[in-house]
Chain A
């Protein structure tokens, strides 16, 4: 599919009458594919960095599906995820954990991919609910994806339909252990197998009208 017209190179006339050329892909998007981030130069420093990363996981506040309704009680004093250093951030630039809360329709998958690619390294993905594992209750639906880790690199799954906030907190504890053990390598996996992920995504999203890599 072709790109959207506003992404094409064209001449634009400003309000003061001056015409100038605009090339959005070059001006606003990054052309380079993601690169693999190497570990720090010594193991002690890497362990320190991993400890720091695990103690301040900031979640992207993008409720992609059903599970988003159990994320809201997490941020209230009863279940209190803030004491673990876990916050909700509205913008992907300030988040490093993307919780895919439930099923993903292909329309949301496109936006989820874009949000994921806008997050900065190191970033992690948690698949919440059984829909991310094998399609869950919508296993015969024509609009939802059945396996999340074909499209995004998933570090941890939390099962349930839907998982309670306590299950989410237990999942976050497991995530912390994973990061501290140095196994939170989802972003590097994405960069290494970039072509494979992109091929899977493009097979499912039929109107791919954006650049391959966003920022």
Chain B
């Protein structure tokens, strides 16, 4: 039985229980599936207790500013079979909040602290989620959001030393390949 069919079988089994999206297989041992927000905790518990995906590898967020949503990715791993499944949850950008998973995996509390600080996604009930984690004395919007311009912030807030030139390779190659100014 190849790992690809095992992932598909897992998907079929889970689809009977939860309204999942399509399974997108990235590799034979890695697949992503979209889960609605209210079914996240039951599916995490089911995957951990019944299916053997006991290791929470990663909990991260992607900012889809154009669509006005955050994508939370929970990556779970089953070491005995060497397979990973990624659960994608889409939540709205304004007032972003998600149920906390810290009682399922204690390490989720750390990931959730970072997401709260860097993206502004709230996880009510997570221990010490409001404390400063990485940044100290930060007074702007959460920095990993797409609408935060890091270059502008750096130029306004830190004094620069004059005389820096930037040779941007894209501009340089553009001038070399298309000297008459075409975009190429």
Contact = CB atoms under 8 A, between A and B. Distances in A.
Q: Do chains A and B touch in the complex (CB under 8 A)?
A: yes
Interface of A: 1, 106-107, 110, 133-135, 139-147, 150, 200, 203-207
B172 to A, nearest CB: 18
* 8 nearest A-B pairs in the assembled complex, by CB-CB distance: A207-B137, A206-B137, A140-B151, A134-B161, A146-B158, A107-B136, A142-B153, A142-B150
B161 A147 contact: yes
Contacts of A205: 137
A204 B136 contact: no
A104 to B, nearest CB: 11
Contact of A204 (B151, B158, B160): B158
A165 to B, nearest CB: 26
A147 B159 CA distance: 7
B173 interface: no
A84 to B, nearest CB: 30
Interface in B119-144: 135-140, 143
B135 A143 contact: yes
Contacts of A135: 154, 158, 160-161
A146 B161 contact: yes
A130 to B, nearest CB: 11
B159 A150 contact: yes
Interface in B33-61: none
Interface of B: 135-140, 143, 148, 150-151, 153-154, 157-161, 163-164
A146 B150 CA distance: 13
Contacts of A139: 154, 164
Nearest to A200: B159
A207 B135 CA distance: 11
- Most chain A CB atoms below 10 A, which of B140, B143, B151, B159: B159
Contacts of B164: 134, 139
19 contacts: A106-B136, A107-B136, A110-B136, A134-B161, A134-B164, A135-B154, A139-B154, A139-B164, A140-B151, A141-B154, A142-B140, A142-B150, A142-B153, A143-B135, A143-B143, A203-B157, A204-B157, A204-B158, A207-B136
Given A133-B161, A134-B160, A142-B148, 11 more contacts: A110-B136, A134-B163, A134-B164, A139-B164, A142-B150, A142-B154, A145-B158, A146-B160, A150-B159, A200-B159, A206-B139
A134 B136 CA distance: 23
A140 B164 CA distance: 12
A164 B106 CA distance: 42
Contacts of B150: 140-142
Contacts of B140: 142
A142 B136 CA distance: 12
Contacts of A206: 137-139
- Most chain A CB atoms below 10 A, which of B137, B140, B150: B137
Nearest to A148: B161
Contacts of A147: 158-161
Contacts of A207: 136-137
